[in-house]
Structure 1
Amino acid sequence: MKVMEATFPSLEELVLVEMPKLEKCSCSSLWNMNSSLRVLNIKMCSALKVFDLLDGGIKFESKQKSWLPGLRKLIIYDCPHLEVMHPLPPSITCSEFFINRVSTLPRMEGSSGETLKINGPISLHAGWFYEMWTLDDRILAFHNLRGLKYLCIRYCRNLMSIPFEGFRQLVSLKSLEISDCGKLFSLYIPECAHEDVVVANCTALPSLENLRIHSCGITGKWLSLMLRHATALMVFNLWDCPQITQLSIEEGENSQSNLISTMQASSSGYSNDSLTSSAPDGLLHIPLNVLSSLKEMEIRVSPYLTFCHSKEGLSGFTSLEKLTIWSCPELLSSSVHIDGNGGQVNGRCLLPQSLGHLVINSYSRAMLQPCFPRNLTCLKKFQIYNRSLESLQLQSCTALEELYISGCPSLAALEGFQFLKHLSLFSTPNLPPFLEHVSGQGYELCPQLEKLVTSDPCVLTTPFCKQLTSLQRLELRSCEGEATRLTDEQAGALLLITSLEELQFWKCRYLVDLPAELHCLPSLKKLEIDNCHRMLWLPVKGLPPSLEELNITCHGGCSMVLATQCRWLATRKLKVKIDGKYVN
């Protein structure tokens, strides 16, 4: 069938499925009564080229903003020759639409009228795909997306621009994610970036709370403009955006005038005390509205990104509660305080007083000393992964409760961690000797510590561990070396922790036996064995009588023989969980 003509003046649902020979479908009378159509479903019509309900030959009235005003559901799938000449969604009432393998549109998926996902091909060798250079009003009916709350654009490798005017119509948008769009916003600067438009205070993205930009070609100038308009922004993620090479924050009272001067400076290459930019478009300028609203910020995989020096450092983010800096070795290093005498870097890093959670990976200096305005801090959790760090000074972190250190083989000095409740140590061979030395001098370290996680059982034999009178949970994870069991000294030190209530062995690949005297732990209530595939038997002398729960994970590598033993131990008093399910 090459041509199908239909007259359905009150049709509510039209379905064309698996019609490989259909080339043209005419529904002109249906167009005249298009307000009755609720569902349009076209699938696997591989030869279909013309469908007059979708092409641009039929014009609707200028006052009518929707070409199918009553449509609720639209699905067009696997029609590679079909041309859809109207933007989507077709109406403000369209709550569900799915478009894939259509000649004039990218893959799009909308749900509930509140979410929209636009995807290019994950692989360039995946077969047919639509080549999109700009996402404008010929593809997206922005005026029908005023209720949109979540927009995700992924894998559009050749997409270069989205008109800023389109963003201005997304008044309800709360979350925007752009990833793997290597050319997007890499060159084009919209009219709104010009001084007169900024002064006019054009508004876009007024409801945006979450902005995630990953592996994108965006320039600092473009992103600075977006942040200027995102007055409600709370979460900001920036990953692998190589065109952004410098970060600065607003320090004056008039963010609008400072933004203009920043853009003018970056355009001309001009530098002053607060702004230094070797690449004009590489500067990301954070305006005051974001500094005062942002709760979480994560910057990853920007090895050349540096911070433009300011007296306040990163403390200008006055509402920031969580900060993650990952694989950006120079960003935090370039923000450390410089002494007036000789310009020496003293390692003091000024951070927001509001910060509660800090994550750092890759820091290029040997010493790190987090500091806070007026010596007040809310920092409770600190995670650091760093190969070059030698000294960590935490004296100013008086509220710190949880410290996680991993991959710091050079770290040999740790100070100011007396008030910790949770401590995790991985791949820190120089720390146990340091802890032993400090503890041997009579200092009581971490008297309030409740949880200890380590990959080195040698920590158990240090005076530091023997002083842990409040320790309730111990986790031995990814134990280093090839030892098949704890040494007698380590097992004896474990038994001295009489306050211990929970004990976990996780991914100890070479461990064969549990400590023989494990039953002597007087307070142990929970024992977990996970990913210890060489462990076959429980201790011959049994488990502590205080034990209330025994967890074994077999699908992760633990022995079925061990699991069978554990199953036999299940009683009303002792709950046994195998692979996440209780056997009682």
Structure 2
Amino acid sequence: MLSEVLILKECPKLLELPCLRHILYPQEQDWNIDWFPKLQELEIENCPEVLSLPPIPWTRTLCSVKIKHVGSKLVEKLEYSKSSSGVALKIVGKEDLHSLCQLLVFDKLKELQKLKIEKCPSLELKHLVMLTSLKELIAKRPVALVGPIGDHGGIEWQHLVEHFTIISCGVSGKEFSQLLSHLPKLSVLVIVNCENITQLVVGVDRQQTTIEVPSSSSLDVKMEYSRAKGEKQKIVEEEEEDELLGEEEKAAEKDDGLLVLPAHLYNSLQRLNINSIGRNCMVVPPLHALQALRTLELDGCSLPSYSSSCHPFPSTLLELVLCHVEGMETLEPLSNLTCLTRLDINDCGDNLRWEGLLLLHTQGQLRHLVVCGSPDFFVGLHPSPGLKDEQEQSLPSSSKLGLLMTDDVAGVLIAPVCSLLSSSLTQLFIYGDQEVGHFTKEQEEALQLLTSLHELEIMKCYKLWCLPAGLNKLTNLKLLRIDSCPSLQSLPKGGLPISLQGLDVRNCGSMKLKQQCRRLTGTILEIILE
């Protein structure tokens, strides 16, 4: 049979795939009959009596496999794809899946680049090392991580996986630390809701081959660990012992939730995401040693208290996202992030204040700013000669900020702030302000200062019944979006600017508002009412 595609759907009485016995027991088959020798696509869906499945991939001609809602107690869903962009595999397991080799032919997966496993047993070390092309590994609710960690046949092993995501796993800090020590090329690390990991430590790599020793001339002298002799060797051993057997390392050995990032990640890790929303709030120490880090996202974490002169994050950061983070009072500890282009702050406490923002804004590269859930953040922000800080008084009134999202109309729509942003701000999102019912005259006048604005969006302001007057003066405005503002009654006084190309008023229940919008048909390119 020369079929290249086999699709089986809605077959409630199908007990077995026609090619299965040939695949599983080829020695028992008549080799004059070759079942599907060029099969490229296999799809099985809603066949509840199909209990046995072929191992994937049993032939190199396979390019696509989709299996779901079958009777097998091994797998809930399986997707395999091979294309010019690479080979990817996704598995959602069931209760009888005790080993991934029940589903997979690992010696035929050497080209696999992306693997996502969910509700599956641990990926055995002997199988992991066979996946020599694997670049991205995602493990969601696995029974265990990779195990057992250790030598592979008496040989120290490494894997060149670059992206690693772990979600809702009961892995211990010690086990995870051991695994990371074998991943020298890791550039992206994502940890989500792993409740047994409670603290992060920037550790020291036991395999580090060069270390720095201060000489009498105050110059750093590099010594190879394996060749160092005499007194210098003694100094090196003492310093390394102090570091490796410090409090963090001792605690890690006791397996009390410490995750140690090994030293080789200092120059490879470019993105770190930690989400610990749940029972345990992960404590995150200073990360300035991670000199390759470009993106950092922390959600549900705790930071130690920092003075304004202490900088917990590396100056290489381009994007910083902080959600439900405890321990921050001002933005002054971020003042070293002069390369930062994006800063998101969501629900980081009522006491978080703006101090330090102007340094980022005027001396840095900040282009994207989100501040929500900190109601007093903008209080007292007046970038004018009246500032107490002499350094901030001397800052130039330049701005690169193009996008601002806030839930605080009163804090942002003041003349000094809008004057500072007037030349750069193109997108303003007002999201979830539960206090604003209408805009004051001062706020309307401040908004009119944003002459570069292209997009204005107001969302989930449930008490808002009146839009700001004077929107027609925003002569560069292209899009006005009002979403989920059920109290809104009408369009603003003075009308809309002639530059407007899009008007979106979905989820706003007033019939009067919708009628006003319909009358604008023909004058505005696109109008969305629902």
Q: Same fold (TM over 0.5)?
A: yes
Shift in Å, 1:327: 0.4
2:150: which partner in 1? 193
What amino acid maps onto 2:499 in structure 1?
E
User: Following the alignment from structure 2 to structure 1, what is the Cα–Cα distance between the partners of residues 51 and 2?
Assistant: 22
SS of the residue 1:193 aligns to: coil
In structure 2, the CA distance between the partners of 1:90 and 1:256, relative to structure 1 (3 Å rule), is farther
Distance 1:72 1:499 in 2: 54
1:479 is displaced (CA, Å) by: 5.8
- Aligned partner of 1:243: which letter? N
Query: Within 5 A, what are the aligned runs for 1:164-183?
Result: 164-181=125-142, 183=143
1:108 corresponds, among 78, 102, 111, to 78
Counterparts of 2:340 and 2:506 in 1: how far apart (Å)? 38
Q: Is the 8 A contact 1:514 1:538 kept in 2?
A: yes
Q: CA deviation at 1:246?
A: 3.2
User: Which residue does 1:305 correspond to in 2?
Assistant: 282
The answer as to whether partners of 2:330 and 2:353 remain within 8 angstroms in 1 is yes
From 151, 165, 177, the equivalent of 1:212 is 165
Secondary structure of the residue aligned to 1:508 is coil
Counterpart position of 1:562: 513
Residue 353 (1) aligns with residue 305 (2): no
Distance 1:486 1:439, change over 3 A: farther
What percent identity do the matched residue pairs reach? 26
Q: Among residues 442, 449, 458, which one is paired with 2:410 in the alignment?
A: 458
Q: Per chain length, whose mean CA-contact separation is higher, i.e. which structure has more relative contact order (CA < 8 Å, sep 6+)?
A: 2
Partner of 2:57: 89
Report what 1:382 is aligned to: 343
* Contact 1:566 1:576 (8 Å CA) reproduced: no
Q: What does residue 398 of structure 2 align with?
A: 448
Report which stretch shifted further, 349-358 or 102-111. Answer: 102-111
C-alpha displacement at 1:90, in angstroms?
1.0
| Residue equivalent to 2:526 | 577
Superposed CA RMSD in Å reads 4.2
Deviations 1:363-420 (A, max 9, x none): 33253566589x574223222231164456538x95x34xxxxxxxxxxxxxx88986
- The number of residue pairs the alignment matches comes to 475
CA drift of 1:299 comes to 0.6
CA distance in 1, matches of 2:283, 2:406: 33
Pairing 1:134–2:99 present: yes
In the other structure, the counterpart of 1:12 is 2
Equivalent residue, structure 1, for 2:196: 243
TM-superposed deviation, 1:527: 5.1
1:463-478 → structure 2 map (5 Å cutoff): 464-465=416-417, 467-468=419-420, 469-470=422-423, 472-473=425-426, 475=428, 477-478=430-431
CA distance in 2 between counterparts of 1:391 and 1:493 reads 21
CA contact (8 A) 1:366 1:388 kept: no
**Superposed counterparts of 1:337-352, under 5 Å:** 348-352=310-314
In 2 relative to 1, CA 480–244 (structure 1 residues): closer, same or farther, beyond 3 Å?
closer
Which of 107, 120, 131 lines up with 1:143 in the alignment?
Answer: 107
TM-score by length of 1: 0.68
Deviation (angstroms), 1:553: 2.0
Aligned residue for 1:434, secondary structure, equals: coil
Q: 1:561 & 1:352 partners in 2: Cα distance?
A: 53
1:33-72: CA deviation from partner (whole Å, max 9, x where unpaired) = xxxxx555555263626977158555489xxxx9987543
AA aligned opposite 1:111: S
The farther-off stretch of 231-240 and 549-558 is 549-558
74-83 vs 159-168, which moves further: 74-83
- Helix, strand or coil for the counterpart of 2:58? coil
User: Superposed, which structure 2 residues align to 1:525-564 within 5 Å?
Assistant: 525-526=477-478, 528-531=480-483, 532-539=485-492, 541-544=494-497, 547-557=498-508, 559=510, 561-564=512-515
Measure, in 2, the Cα distance between the counterparts of 1:75 and 1:507.
43
SS at 2:466 equivalent: coil
* Structure 2: 5+ residue stretches without partners: 212-243
Q: Is 1:53 the equivalent of 2:2?
A: no
TM-score where L is the length of structure 2: 0.74
Alignment pair present for 1:163 and 2:124? yes
* Structure 1 residue 367 corresponds to structure 2 residue 335: no
The alpha-carbon distance between structure 1 residues 437 and 377, as it changes in their structure 2 partners (threshold 3 A), is closer
Tell me the distance in 2 between the aligned counterparts of 1:570 and 1:46.
Answer: 56
